[in-house]
Amino acid sequence: MPTGGRPAGHPFRTWPRSDMERTIPPEQFDRGYAEGDPPWVIGEPQPVVAELARSGAFGGTILDAGCGTGEHAIHLALLGYEVVGVDTAANALERARAKAAEAGCTPRFELANALELPPEPRFDTVVDSALFHVFGPADQRRYARSLHRVCLPGAVAHVLALGEANAEFGPSVRQDEIRDAFADGWDVDYVQPSRYAGIAYGEPARVMGVRDGDRIEVPAWLARFRKR
């Protein structure tokens, strides 16, 4: 199991292009988790997600879409929620299960593609921290439909995605892209400016004027949708 850090050849030494037209392939993520910590692994939940939890924004059974190494699923499980984390990266899930065991909680982690979730409504809340923005436009809409299938009526989806002002750090999306993707079957509560915490490595660190491996915060969007 990786102990952290990233070798020079790490597949996410720099993020994919922010103006991409295609979805980043799952195998690239799996290789990234096998070879070290990608830039979105900060060793704790995103501050925005932790604040949502403190404010009572979560309820019922929670889906952590694109759960990665499990920081959000574990945080919510320790608060007493039933949580299911899904990811296409087997290496990430292996690390998530080990972290959950160390923390003494039992969220469930499943190998699954968030674009093709089984048609079984079972979730009351969704948390998406930095998954939406790795999809191209067509898959963004496909993803919203996939979430709609597995959510119960009235379910709430929280989406935290990188904003377009940080192209040097990672793939980014515009506010209208988020709204358009969730136009069918969802009501928009809000799409508002937010912040996303990450680790700057390689070229992004140089461009942003920070040291390699420094923690940073970049512009993001925080959106909340309700299933009709």
Backbone angles phi and psi of 190, in degrees to 5: -170, 160
Domains along the chain?
A: 26-45+61-76+89-110+121-227 (3.40.50.150)
d(Cα 107, Cα 100) in Å, to the nearest integer?
7
pTM of this structure = 0.91
3-state secondary structure of 218: strand
d(Cα 196, Cα 169) in Å, to the nearest integer?
11
**Could you list the mean pLDDT of each consecutive 10-residue stretch along the chain, which spans 228 residues?**
44 48 74 86 97 98 98 98 97 97 98 94 97 92 97 98 77 93 98 95 84 93 98
Check residue 218 and give its pLDDT: 92
